[in-house]
Structure 1
Amino acid sequence: MKTERYIAELTSLPAFEPEREGWSALAREAIEPNPFYEPGFLMASARNLERPDAIILLVVRDSARNNRPVGLFPLCWPRLRDGILFGAISLYRNPYTSLSTPLIHADCVPEVLDAAFGLLAAPGGQADVLHMPLISASRPFGAALAAYCAGRGLPQRIGSQFSRAAIETTLSLSEYQRALARNTRKSLTRKLRRLEERGPVAFTTIRKNSPEGQKALDEFLYLESLGWKGQRGTALASKPQTRAFALSAFGTGNDGPDLFFERLSVNGRTIAMNVNLIAQRVVYTIKTAYDEAYGDYSPGALLDWNTIRFGTAGAGIARLDSCADPGHRIETIWRERESIATLIVGVTAAVAPARLDRIETGMRWMSRAIGGAKALRDKLAGAA
């Protein structure tokens, strides 16, 4: 559908893949970063985690820029766990994505939304309600979307909202560490000293495309498989398809998101690792693993404590996002919070607000049902 100079179209990932250069440029110039929608990560997801054609791409092009993509919305049909049975389409996510913010060029957000929403709402379009999970509510896209919906008279609902640990500060490293709770500082310092009694302790940073990059990924996959995730079958290396996804998304020599590994070792033995994606000077800690044999030393917490240095003044990083669930122990170390919301948007003013209310009710019911099932599973596992 054409809106002045902006043209929206639906296509497939294989058809769009040859435009990786323009796609990557859009990711760099987007109003908000999202490494999970960059070419390498999204293609790795599609090839290894999804059935063919599960992901539909809504692409908006700018005819004044030689038809370069200025908007990218990876779409899929909602799944049962979303609590949306019909009448809506969703921005894509999988268990390894922590954001679903669409990639939209920073200087034409309203125009891109006009074209994209117009295509969805047109006769024969996909759906007139857009389900948007995992949106950073207080960031530029969230604010721009709220203003856009208000200006166009589009109904919008917040289906759910939570906060996760982050670092966004002007404090120096020493100032930030001093601002932590006294008991937290004392506990971490004591555990680090006890660990040093076992042998030399080293914190190491490894970039993806460094000579050690592939070895670091293999080491992470092995370490994760040794712990509870391996026992439950949810470690990346537990299944051929998730292992293939990890090698494609995080491995060396591809155009996936920039990333680095953090490693904590004692006596040359790795006891904790993090995988961190980087986009527009924002770091996303999306995977963590630690050696449970060293659990008394809290190696994961020590590694997160060491990571503070990347987010404090002078480090060159805008902020850190833990990508962690609410209530995670990292909240005692990373003091700021990132607000994450699930939004439900009617893409045309003709969508009745009551319809969004019904969708929201279904989502809340399903969320409670899933939460209850998980609690029962954990209780039964503890009793076994």
Structure 2
Amino acid sequence: MSWSLSSAHTDFPAFAPAWDALNRRLFNAHPLLDSAFIAPLIELYGPDTLRLARETVDGQLRSAALIRPLAPGAWRVFALGPIQMTPALMAPEADWDALLRSLPGMALLLNVNLQDPQYSHLAPCPPVRRAFDHACTIGIALEGDFDRYWQGRSRHLRQNLGRYQRRLREDGMAVEWRQYAEPDAIVAAVDRYSVLESAGWKGRNGTALHPDNLQGEFFRRVMQRFAHRASARVWELWIDGQLAASRLAIGTPDMLVMLKTTYDEQLARYAPGMLLLRRVIEEEFTAARHRRIEFYTNATPAQHAWATDSRWIRHFEVYRNRLSASVIDGVRLSRARPRALLGGTAAVAALAAFSALLN
């Protein structure tokens, strides 16, 4: 058994088929771990220091992950802010201790963030493996029919949706539902999505997709790659000839992952985002293309009302040994705020000073 490290930018393109085979074997081809999602992540957001870590046993690939150095003595599995999952394909028997020993510079800590317990074999083992709840995500099991699902939602949610639908009719608004799956149509729909999102509060905060920014290009590439496999979809709601709401999603037979959603704030009195979500869920129950819908978000109480289940996405800290964990704890108590954990550099320096003791 051994771990090897190489440049992700250089080696991932050729390694992608093996990555996807491992994803199929371990996690039933999770869309957010697919190379069609990971490759644009590396291309557009990966730092030059990003490494492809591979674990082989008797010449066979067992685990793989994308990791990057965070500070002297500290590493982190790569992550993109708005995505609630990190690119780590770790087998149940993956040797985390050997991975830490294989990292250059006497690695004492590896942050493994954004782990979905249904698609991660990492488990707490204090004090050298610690877990922290991060975000409560939601899902919808596409079992039975839509009417049964809808009757299981709260009376408050059902009444609200009925009120918005009546408001559209009473105002004489023309409603059109559109759906796109072809690659060229998908690209145009993603650009329309980006323009709509940029016009809202995310645009004012500088966090929106736009056809000309990095986020817009990332989701354009992801959606187009999945569309070439007939695995991407964009839904739109148009009200009186105006784009009112849009949703981007990718999927496999196992699950449909909702990537992004936005709506026209000038049409907020009709709650177009909620109306579109209801329509999408109803269509997916009827089409039976997927087993589940996953949202991968830090769900609000209003979003929980749509869900049939929920679970916590967790962050993990994997330490080289007990001494590493003790040093970090000591620095925390001294309020030094280490970069690898809370934003500073004191802990990393302290850990480096102990590195000679850990050989």
- Matched position secondary structure for 2:307: coil
Offset, 1:294: 0.7
User: Does structure 2 conserve the Cα–Cα contact (< 8 Å) formed by 1:32 and 1:103?
Assistant: no
2:64 paired residue number: 72
Does residue 206 of the first structure (1) align with residue 180 of the second (2)?
yes
**Alpha-carbon distance in 1 for matches of 2:292, 2:13:** 30
**Alpha-carbon distance in 2 for matches of 1:260, 1:44:** 18
- Matched position secondary structure for 1:294: helix
**Alpha-carbon distance in 2 for matches of 1:359, 1:262:** 49
User: Does structure 2 conserve the Cα–Cα contact (< 8 Å) formed by 1:272 and 1:289?
Assistant: yes
**Alpha-carbon distance in 1 for matches of 2:148, 2:236:** 24
**Alpha-carbon distance in 2 for matches of 1:11, 1:359:** 32
Offset, 1:296: 0.6
Q: Deviations over 1:221-273 (max 9, x none)?
A: 12112211122222121753333323322235887993211211224432101
Counterpart mapping for 1:357-368 below 5 A? 357=329, 362=337, 366=342
Q: Match for 1:130: what amino acid? A: L
Offset, 1:357: 4.2
Q: Match for 2:17: what amino acid? A: E
Offset, 1:174: 0.7
- Residues 294, 280 of structure 1: CA spacing in aligned structure 2 closer, same or farther, 3 A cutoff? same
Does residue 27 of the first structure (1) align with residue 12 of the second (2)?
no
Q: Match for 1:94: what amino acid? A: L
User: Does structure 2 conserve the Cα–Cα contact (< 8 Å) formed by 1:35 and 1:279?
Assistant: yes
Q: Deviations over 1:130-153 (max 9, x none)?
A: 21111113x152xx322xx65xx8
**Alpha-carbon distance in 2 for matches of 1:87, 1:252:** 37
Counterpart selection for 1:57 from 46, 52, 58: 52
Percent identity between matched residues is: 20
Counterpart selection for 1:145 from 119, 122, 147: 122
User: Does structure 2 conserve the Cα–Cα contact (< 8 Å) formed by 1:176 and 1:312?
Assistant: no
Offset, 1:171: 4.3
**Alpha-carbon distance in 2 for matches of 1:43, 1:212:** 22
Does residue 187 of the first structure (1) align with residue 173 of the second (2)?
no
User: Does structure 2 conserve the Cα–Cα contact (< 8 Å) formed by 1:208 and 1:258?
Assistant: no
1:331 paired residue number: 304
2:267 paired residue number: 294
Q: Match for 2:133: what amino acid? A: S
2:326 paired residue number: 354
Counterpart mapping for 1:152-301 below 5 A? 155-168=128-141, 170-196=143-169, 197-207=171-181, 209=183, 212-237=185-210, 240-251=213-224, 258-279=231-252, 281-301=254-274
**Alpha-carbon distance in 2 for matches of 1:262, 1:15:** 35
Offset, 1:293: 1.3
RMSD: 3.3
**Alpha-carbon distance in 2 for matches of 1:189, 1:123:** 57
1:91 paired residue number: 77
2:346 paired residue number: none
Q: Deviations over 1:321-362 (max 9, x none)?
A: 22222326322222421311111122x455554346468875
Offset, 1:27: 2.5
Q: Deviations over 1:60-100 (max 9, x none)?
A: 23545xx5x4422111234xxxxxx6533111111242211
**Alpha-carbon distance in 1 for matches of 2:300, 2:177:** 26
Structure 1: 5+ residue runs without aligned partners?
79-84, 368-384
- Matched position secondary structure for 1:263: strand
2:112 paired residue number: 132
Structure 2: 5+ residue runs without aligned partners?
344-359
User: Does structure 2 conserve the Cα–Cα contact (< 8 Å) formed by 1:48 and 1:245?
Assistant: yes
**Alpha-carbon distance in 1 for matches of 2:221, 2:331:** 36
- Matched position secondary structure for 2:298: coil
Counterpart selection for 2:278 from 302, 305, 308: 305
- Matched position secondary structure for 1:203: strand
**Alpha-carbon distance in 1 for matches of 2:182, 2:7:** 28
- Residues 96, 256 of structure 1: CA spacing in aligned structure 2 closer, same or farther, 3 A cutoff? farther
- Matched position secondary structure for 1:133: strand
- Residues 279, 93 of structure 1: CA spacing in aligned structure 2 closer, same or farther, 3 A cutoff? farther
**Alpha-carbon distance in 2 for matches of 1:207, 1:275:** 10
